[in-house]
Amino acid sequence: MTRHHALKDNEDTTPQVTEEKLRLLRNKIHYLMGLYPSYQGALLPSLYAAQEIFGYISPEAIGEVSNITGVSAAQIKGVACFYAMYKTKPMGRHIIQLCTNVACMIEGAEDLVAYLGEKYGLTPGGTTQDGRFSLVIMECIGACGTAPSMILDSDSYDNLTKDRLDTLLESYK
């Protein structure tokens, strides 16, 4: 399950670890722990929180989550790499999650992947040179009736064409 996380290490896109960010994460985890009868129950949402704050699940974040929840760092890493939506390496500023599963495929999703490669130098699992976009290939995003479709950061877009893709990407600086 790890291959979608591959990314060229890019110094510029590595977010800084600050005391402020760590404090934010701590507060969030403490809140989340109240929603589950066991501390480990809060692990998945805590990892999302870490990803939101640091841009990816950084080693520092894993350490912090481990300290608070009592789940070992090794176990946390094991959990993080099991799920496709956790990013365990730094990513671009915007994440394009494009579906190529059957419904999207028969409506031309693979042409869109090729187009992103040609025009933006963006390959599956990769990030653009300027660190603006990363591309993740998705396994069905529940938009089969309006295929091909993608999630860009946390917005969904349907009925994609090359033109529409261009226009959309333009608005994500």
* Binding footprint of other proteins on the chain (CB under 8 A): 1, 35-38, 40-45, 47-48, 69, 71, 78-79, 82-86, 97, 100-103, 105-106, 138-147, 151, 154-156
Q: In whole angstroms, how close is the CB of 100 to other proteins at the nearest point?
A: 7
**Toward other proteins, which CB reaches closer, 12 or 139?**
139
Q: In whole angstroms, how close is the CB of 170 to other proteins at the nearest point?
A: 21
Q: In whole angstroms, how close is the CB of 142 to other proteins at the nearest point?
A: 4
**Toward other proteins, which CB reaches closer, 11 or 34?**
34
**Toward other proteins, which CB reaches closer, 27 or 83?**
83
Give the span between the Cα atoms of 11 and 85, in whole angstroms. Answer: 22
Give the span between the Cα atoms of 171 and 77, in whole angstroms. Answer: 34
CB 71 within 8 A of CB 43: yes
**Toward other proteins, which CB reaches closer, 18 or 156?**
156
Q: In whole angstroms, how close is the CB of 145 to other proteins at the nearest point?
A: 4
106-131: string of b/e by CB count within 10 Å (b at 16+)? Answer: ebbbeebbebbeeebebebbbbbeeb
